[in-house]
Structure 1
C-alpha cells in the first residue's frame, strides 16, 4: 500500500472514529501535531501525538490508526513496531487498546441472541448476511457449547443485505432463520411491509465503532477481533479472559 492509499484509508477511519479522552500534551507533542497534520492530506485530523518509550518515535493517532514520526515530523513511519527481544507487537497492542469498547454499552436489544449450554462465555458479532467469512464463523459457533452470541446484522456488502436481514428479523424465529440462511443457505420468507427493523441503527452503530469489515467479534473485556476465528483461537481467547491475561 502506498502513502496515498494509506491516507485515503485514514480519512475513512477519521470519518467513523470515536471521540477519545482529552489528554494534556507536551509543547513538543503539540508542535509535532501542527507540523504533521497538514502533511497527511485533506480531511485527515490528528487526534493525538504522544512520545513513545522506544527509538525516539512519536505516536500519531488518527482515529483508530497509529502512525509514527520523528521529533521534527520529517519522516512518517507506517507499520508495526515489534520488540525483537520478546516478539511483542507494540503497535497492535496500542491499536487494540484504542479499539476497546464498553461491552455493556452495546444495544443488545438490536441483536439476535443465541444461548447454548450455560451461556457463560459471551460475545457480540457484527455480520453481513452476504459475508462468506461470517458463514464460516457461524459454522464454528455451531460446534461450540456454553456460549451466548449476540449477532448484529450489519449490512455493508451488498444491496440485498438489508433485505435479507429484514426478512430474518421479521421471521417468527429469528435465530433459526439466521442459522438456516448462514449455515444451510435457506432463504427466509419475505417480511411484511410494515415490519420495523433496527437495520439503520445497527449500521450507524457499526460506523461509530469503526467496523469496516465483517465479521467483527467483541468480547466481554471490550476487545475486538476483526475477521473470523477458528474454534482453537476462540477457545484460547476465552481461556485468556478467564485467566485474566491479555490476548
Structure 2
C-alpha cells in the first residue's frame, strides 16, 4: 500500500507531539560541515515524492551516517544519505548522566537566546505589580480553549510574581480567521484589553497595522511549537500545553 508522505508526517505530529515540539536546528558549531551530496540526494528524493513538502535544511545528525532534515512547519526527520529511508522521532544519546534526549539538549539554549532577543514592544505583556520574580513566554492562539483557560489564570500568575509575555501563534495558519483576530489585538489601542476580550470569546474591532504576528508564528515553528499554549521559561525550557498557575509558578521559581 502506498501511503502518502503527508499522512506519515501528520500521524507523527499527532502521535509524537511532545517529541516533535522539542526538535530544532543544531548549534552553529555542529553545522560547520555540510555534506552537499547528501543534501542534494535527500532534497531530490522528497521533491520527487512530494514536491509540496518544503525542506528548510539538511545537516549531519549526531549519529554517524544519518542526516537531520528540518521540514517547513513540520517535524524533524532523520534520513539516510540517499533519502530513500527516513524516520520521525527523537534521537537519544548515552551521556555521562544517563540517557539524554539529543533534541532537548540542543534546543534549550537556542530558545533562551532567541526569546531574549524579542522586543518587549512586540509582545503583549501582563506584568505583576512591583518587581517580577520570573517570566514565561507563551505562544498563544486566542481561539484555543486551553489558551483561554490559561489566560483566566494570568492574574494569579501576576500575583505570584510571574510576568506573562504573549507571542502570536495562530494554529490554523496566517490566513485563518484567528490570525486576523490576533492582528487586530496587536493593532489595538489597548492590546491587553483586546487580548482579554478575545480570550473571553468577545469580539473586538478589526484593525490592521504593521505587526509581528507573522514573524512570531514563524519563530514558534523554529522553536518547535506545534500547538498552543506553548509555554517557555526564560532559560528556554518548553512546557507543551496548559499547566495550572501554581504548577507554572513552581517551575519558574524553582
Task: Say yes or no: does 1:58 pair with 2:66.
Answer: yes
Corresponding position of 1:48: 58
TM-superposition CA deviations, 1:108-155 (whole Å, max 9, x none): 213322112431312232322211120122234332210111223544
State the number of aligned residues: 224
Judged with a 3 Å threshold, the aligned counterparts in structure 2 of structure 1 residues 239 and 48 are, in CA distance, closer, same or farther, namely: farther
Tell me how large the CA RMSD over aligned residues is: 4.2
Q: Write the distance in 1 (CA, Å) between the matches of 2:82 and 2:104.
A: 24
| TM-score normalised by L of structure 2 | 0.64
The alpha-carbon distance between structure 1 residues 225 and 170, as it changes in their structure 2 partners (threshold 3 A), is same
Higher relative contact order (CA 8 A, sep 6+): 2
Q: Which runs of 5+ in 2 are unaligned?
A: 13-23
Q: 1:221 aligns with which of 212, 231, 235?
A: 235
2:5 aligns with: 3
Deviations 1:72-91 (A, max 9, x none): 65532221234589343224
Q: Distance in 2 between matches of 1:50 and 1:208?
A: 23
Q: Pick from 201, 204, 207: which aligns with 2:215?
A: 204
Post-superposition offset of 1:160? 5.6
Structure 1 gaps of 5+ residues are 11-16, 241-247
2:20 maps to what in 1?
A: none
CA distance in 2, matches of 1:80, 1:136: 30
Larger radius of gyration: 1
- The reply on whether 1:103 has 2:115 as its aligned counterpart is yes
Provide the C-alpha distance between the structure 1 equivalents of 2:110 and 2:4, rounded to a whole number of angstroms: 24
Question: Mapping of 1:134-213 within 5 angstroms?
Answer: 134-144=147-157, 145-157=160-172, 159=177, 162-163=180-181, 166=184, 170=188, 174-179=191-196, 181-182=198-199, 185=200, 187=202, 190-191=204-205, 197=209, 200-210=211-221, 212-213=226-227
**Secondary structure of 1:116's partner?**
coil
Residue 25 of structure 1 is aligned with which of 11, 23, 33? 33
